[in-house]
Structure 1
Amino acid sequence: MKNHRTGIAALAALALAGCTATSNQPAPGSAAEALRPYYASLAGDLPQANPGPAIDRSRAISRIGFGSCNHQHRHQTIWPVIADHNPELFLMIGDNVYGDYDYRGEADLRTFEQAYGLQASHPEFIAFRERVPMLASWDDHDFGPNDSGGTFAFREHSEDLFESFWRSSAEVRGRPGIYDSVTIGPDGQLIQIIMLDTRFFRDPLTSLPYSYDRRPLGYYGTVDDPGATLLGAAQWAWLAEELAEPADLRLIVSSIQVLTDAHNWEKWGNMPHERQRLYEALALRNGGGMVILSGDRHSGGLYHGEPEALGESVWELTSSSLNFSFASGDTGEREPDPLRRSGFFSDENFGMVEIDWASGEVALTLNGSDGNSLHSERIRFR
């Protein structure tokens, strides 16, 4: 199968380069267009997670869990721990599998397909799916290679794999990218969850020049081009429409961190024009409180800022990783950050958003893999 798939992909590339025999058919205009017939031949048997319960959008919910960075080859013991916290919804916000593990640039993305297949087989994950409704967005490792964005040549097939595995809605499947939004609950207890896609449309980042003396906190600078995009025109237009809908509380889900500038890894601050645009869009929302959720960092923490373009204070809870920690304990000393209101916990972790509709307060909690709180903050949202 490997040789068959690689051969077809090679033919597609040759067709794009004009190296095959001419015909009356117009030449494909891009590598993606040239590969579509090939990917269509692979689409019949893509991995799927087991079905889960549907979200009851008419009923108020008050307990939402989330997490990121789940490696399919590692233990899955955190799932029953999360289940014990009785989430009514769980958000997978990126690096939900590591499809780029052992990836060598093959067009068929077979390592991504294998990653999804393995994740679908884990009993703990299956049991969690059977119990808890889930929504998902992606980050780089389940989208493409490390730190990849809109120039990834095989992103359309990556999208097919993602949407098949997570059983995405017809609305999500019907447009490029995997951004999504759901609104749940009755008037007065209406929560809107916006799942952004920070990968499919993102323009290239700017790399910092090598420096022996620079601290090891990443290697991306700022993109000064005001025309560079993180979300893409279609997603920006969609976001404005979603924010025009009424809500009492909104969860803005981004795979990469939004508020912080304390590091040079991937973050919204790499494209300051886009981050300002995000703040301005959020400032124009049709009412309701707001919390930002993020992942990616293989550490978790709670942040608070007052961006001028937003015109109000906002909290961001970062949760990472579910089963792929790089260290343990509070590692905040290596990344001083005036916006962080907690330690920077490298232990395996998950986040909980617990809403008290009566008081208009929400508890934002980062929990360790044992289920105990690493940090919690109770804030007002109205």
Structure 2
Amino acid sequence: MQRRALLRAALAAPPLILATSAAWTGGGTPFATGVASGDPWPDSLLLWTRLAPQPLAPFFGMAPEATPELTWEVAEDPSFRRIAAAGQVVVSAAEGFSAHVEAGGLRPSRDYWYRFRLGGEVSPTGHARTAPDPVSRPERLRFLTAGCQHIEHGWFTAWRHAAAEEAIDFVFHYGDYIYEYAGRQPGQPGGFGPVVRSAAGGKCRALADYRRRYAQYQSDPDLQAAMAAHACIPSFDDHEVENNWAGEQSEADGRSARHPMAMPREEFLALREAAFQAWWEAMPLRPAQRPRGAGILAHRRFRYGRLLDLHVLDTRQYRDDQPCGDVNGPACAEVARPDAQMLGAAQEAWLLENAARSEARWQVLAQQVMLMPRRLANDGIAPDKWDGAPAARQRLLEGLAARGLAPPVVLTGDIHNAWAGEVPVAEGGPSRAVEFVATSITSGGDGTETTPGATAALARNPHIRFFNNRRGYCLHEARPDRLETVFRAVAAVTRPDAGREDRGRFVVEAGRAELLPA
């Protein structure tokens, strides 16, 4: 409760303005987009902030030639009486005035509080917990899965509730942190979902566009509260770059040269380079994840003692283009390709090798698009999901089983609904994993409890056991003998005051690929 009260006070307090710095061109607090921490290790945390006194202005209101030095502090208590680590970091326009600090020398399984200073200006206070010692045997681990937060479709109320969750070790953000679409006005046709508040600017086409979009999202107080309250382990899906991009191909490539969004490969890679740079600048990511040209190392592993290994996967950068023209419907011949790729050969080998060496009780695959087979109406598939590359799904699941590993738990997002089910290699086969698909924070608007299409899908796919169409997130708790997941929702996102509601609760017993009601 002390931590929650401190965070609320820090985020609600008016900014402390003691003097106008030559580093920025106008008034306002330089920490207007908040603070965050991420990628927790047993001995260190990644601390993030951005200097942005005017988030939507060019260079966020900073003088482009400025190279200000920030001071950072990590403490063992929220009052900062016991300082555990401290230092300075210089930021510049080259990386969007973002700071990425690896704060080392910390102890495993400990709560820490952190903040930044620029002269007399003090940032909000953030909180994070380090990972356990790799050889320890934790009694429990609590974590969240969330993503898909289209700012136009509603208020980030679910993030406010996520910020208030107690004893959270990390938040896995599966992606779609921003949406790249051009901003719409309420009542304007086109796009999908309602317009509750407008995105700033046109469609993201350059680094400045992406930077501005992140700054707008991160100006939201509910998102700021969640990022300050818990360590985040971020990944990306498609909208951080472009809807349904795949590998080195734009959404429209290979579909229609006359498509209004079609672009040559070289042009798309330039877009991807700008998008990855903006994503890295805006996320609490370590220097190892700094992009190199149009590529970025986003897949990585986190060890939580001998209780759980979290494998963060990248299902966009190395995949094949979606088959069948990326149109939901009957599977075309291309779907049957035996060499189909979703992770790419190198990432697939990395995952199997790391999982084979693991001593953890739980193997958790944190990724983006639905792994479970899912038959749509008229025997159709959604080719953007793993159903578009069933050979890749088979290699993954059979590769894990061949190494003697217990069935994994899969965390997913992307489709703006909550789902839970068992994962066979192919329809009707034995289950090889359990999958929890988190719904969106806002994307799709308020939603409903169910839909006619979902009711038919549950009947058509008996291995899928749960569906809900409200907005929210997933809360998971792993123990040595069981992993429990709660689907948490808000009644509405078109108003900012909706309460939290639970819509489903399930259990997976260790060593079994069976989904049980809690």
Deviation of 1:169 (Å) = 2.0
Structure-2 residue corresponding to 1:180 = 300
CA–CA distance in structure 1, aligned partners of residues 457 and 354 of structure 2:
34
CA offsets, 1:37-76, max 9 Å, x none? xxxx974316679876353332734211111211234311
How do 1:324-339 and structure 2 match up within 5 A?
324-326=443-445, 327-331=447-451, 332-336=454-458, 337-339=461-463
- Match runs of 1:331-370 below 5 Å: 331=451, 332-336=454-458, 337-342=461-466, 344-357=467-480, 360-369=481-490, 370=499
Q: CA deviation at 1:101?
A: 4.1
Taking the aligned partners of 1:330 and 1:348, their CA distance within structure 2 comes to 12
Alignment correspondent of 2:341: 229
Partner of 1:213: none
Spell out, residue by residue over 1:11-57, the C-alpha distance to the aligned partner (whole angstroms, 9 max, x if none): xxxxxxxxxxxxxxxxxxxxxxxxxxxxxx97431667987635333
Equivalents in 2 of 1:48, 1:325: separation in Å? 33
Q: Which residue of structure 2 aligns with residue 10 of structure 1?
A: none
Question: 1:62-118 deviations in whole A, cap 9, x for unaligned?
Answer: 211111211234311111212333232111002121134459776524432222111
Query: Counterpart amino acid of 1:184?
Result: Y
Alpha-carbon distance between aligned partners in 1 of 2:243 and 2:182, rounded to the nearest angstrom:
10
Q: 2:277 aligns with which of 160, 176, 182?
A: 160
Contact 2:373 2:424 in 1 (8 A): no
Say which of 288, 291, 303 aligns to 2:409: 291
**Retained in 2: the 8 A contact 1:70–1:322?**
yes
Preserved CA contact (<8 Å) 2:472 2:488: yes
Deviations 1:254-311 (A, max 9, x none): 2000012224332111011111111123224564552111111111111113337997
Q: For each residue in 1:347-376, what CA deviation from the matched residue of structure 2 results, as whole angstroms up to 9, or x when unmatched?
A: 10211111233xx01112211124322111
- 1:372 alignment counterpart: 501
**Which structure: greater strand fraction?**
2
Name which one, 1 or 2, has greater alpha-carbon Rg: 2
The 8 Å contact of residues 175 and 235 in structure 2, kept in 1 or not, is answered as: yes
Q: Could you tell me which amino acid in structure 2 is paired with residue 364 of structure 1?
A: T
Q: Does 1:323 align with 2:402?
A: no
Does the 8 A contact of 1:46 with 1:113 survive in 2? no
Letter in 2 for 1:45: G
The RMSD of aligned alpha carbons is 3.1
Task: Please list every run of 5 or more consecutive structure 2 residues that lacks an aligned counterpart in the other structure.
Answer: 1-91, 101-123, 184-200, 251-267, 491-498, 512-518
2: CA distance, partners of 1:239 / 1:101: 36
Q: Distance in 1 between matches of 2:228 and 2:476?
A: 21
Q: Distance in 2 between matches of 1:135 and 1:121?
A: 20
Q: Equivalent pairs: percent with the same residue?
A: 22
Q: What pairs with 1:138-287 in structure 2 (closer than 5 Å)?
A: 138-142=236-240, 144-150=241-247, 151-152=249-250, 153=268, 154-173=271-290, 176-185=296-305, 187=306, 190-207=307-324, 221=332, 223-246=335-358, 247-263=360-376, 264-265=381-382, 266-285=384-403, 287=405
What's the offset of the Cα at 1:317?
0.6
Of 129, 137, 147 in structure 2, the residue corresponding to residue 68 of structure 1 is 147
Q: 1:100 to 1:149 in 2, by over 3 A?
A: farther
Distance 1:273 1:140, change over 3 A: same
Letter in 1 for 2:132: R
Residue 12 of structure 1: aligned partner: none
| Higher mean C-alpha deviation, range 293-302 or range 227-236 | 227-236
Once residues 326 and 316 of structure 2 are traced to their aligned partners in structure 1, the CA distance between those partners, rounded to angstroms, is 23
Aligned-partner SS, 1:176: coil
Gaps of 5+ in 1: 1-40, 211-216
Query: In 2 relative to 1, CA 130–232 (structure 1 residues): closer, same or farther, beyond 3 Å?
Result: same
Counterparts of 1:313 and 1:53 in 2: how far apart (Å)? 34
**Secondary structure in structure 1 of the residue aligned to 2:239:** helix
Q: 3-state DSSP class of the match of 1:250?
A: strand
Q: TM-score, normalised by structure 2?
A: 0.58
Change (3 A) 1:45 1:295: same
CA distance in 2, matches of 1:288, 1:76: 36
Give, in whole Å, the separation in 2 of the partners of 1:254 and 1:130. Answer: 23
Question: How many residues align structurally?
Answer: 330
Q: In the alignment, what sits opposite 1:93?
A: 174
- 2:413, 2:465 → 1: CA distance? 16
Equivalent residue, structure 2, for 1:8? none
- The whole-number CA distance in structure 1 between the counterparts of 2:340 and 2:232 is 32
Decide whether the 8 Å contact of 2:373 with 2:426 is kept in 1: no
8 Å contact kept, 2:418–2:439: yes
For 1:77, the equivalent position in structure 2 comes to 157
2:21 aligned partner: none
Q: How far apart are the structure 2 equivalents of 1:89 and 1:203?
A: 31
TM-score normalised by L of structure 1: 0.76
> CA–CA distance in 1 between the matches of 2:331 and 2:239?
18
